[in-house]
Amino acid sequence: MDIKSDVAADGDERRQFRSRFLTEGESVFKHNAWDDFPWDDKQEAEAQKAVNANSKDKFSDCEREKYEKDAGKFWDDFYSKHQDKFFKDRHWLFVEFPELNVRNRTLENKINMLEIGCGVGNTIVPLLQSDLGQSMYIYGCDFSEKAISILREHPLYDESLCNAFVCDVTSDDWVVPFEKNSLDIVTMIFVLSAITPEKHSHVIRKIKEYLKPGGLILYRDYARFDMAQLRFKNGRCISDNFYARGDGTRVYFFTQEEVKNLFTNEGFVEEQNFIDRRLQVNRSKQLKMYRIWIIAKYRKPL
């Protein structure tokens, strides 16, 4: 089943979603956020200077091995502490990825979707709330057993509509409840960044095995020089652009070219790859926060 991008059906909503632009003479603190905020060469240079400073002292081989070995424990501890209260549900899904709104299409068969790194359901729960009914069956996997157990206890969790299971997607052999070449859509939202860069290509290669010909990957993740990267202190850098947070979880910051190469080198066709720049402000504290993400779509050839 070929899942097509429905730009026309959602164009008005998408334009409204990205319609707040800061104009000359307008107060930056008038609103909480501004869309597509441009960077100049000076900001770029300052960001690079901050990254150079916070990555001066990198982890030793022993430290890198420890954080890789204990990755599952760190995420279990994270979800044990925060439960389902840390991340917000992604109610922007249908605007950013209209392909998920299968009610807009006439389909002969049910859509099979996999959310990789589903956590406690911040993508899956909004999909269940949208009442897609029999149009989509949702699979969700996560490295953290604790996250999956929390998701399974959600009042909307219904195995006739979804199946959440534990899976280490960096492993050679996936133990999954579906066949190869059976998935229409795979979502990867702030998940590849949590995986050591040396395993990124392997994960994408495994996803390709389970996507149908014509199947689609919907991707959103951290971009180079995002505020979160610039805020790291020296001593938390594992390797170039890869950091460990205070709770032990890890995060990588991508460039558009890196994302493009990761997917196209595995044979995917690029349909979208753009930088989403937002200027978020704290009006009470008069703070400016520059957020940068990459939003991309890649299709497995027919």
Per-residue pLDDT, 38? 72
pLDDT over 80 at 26, yes or no: no
Per-residue pLDDT, 95? 83
Mean pLDDT, residues 283-292: 69
Extents of the domains making up the chain:
7-299
Tokens encoding 264: 């196209």
Calpha distance 151→147 (Å, rounded): 6
Per-residue pLDDT, 254? 98
| Residue 94: pLDDT band with limits 50, 70, 90 | confident
For 162-178, the DSSP string reads EEEEE--TTSSS---SS
Nearest Cα to 187, choosing from 84, 297, 301?
Answer: 297
Calpha distance 169→72 (Å, rounded): 12
| SS3 assignment, position 254 | strand
pLDDT above 90 covers a percentage of the chain that reads 63
Nearest Cα to 253, choosing from 265, 240, 266?
Answer: 240
| Residue 19: pLDDT band with limits 50, 70, 90 | low
Superfamily of domain 7-299: Vaccinia Virus protein VP39 (3.40.50.150)
Per-residue pLDDT, 257? 98
Higher pLDDT, 9 or 79: 79
Per-residue pLDDT, 283? 55
pLDDT over 70 at 151, yes or no: yes
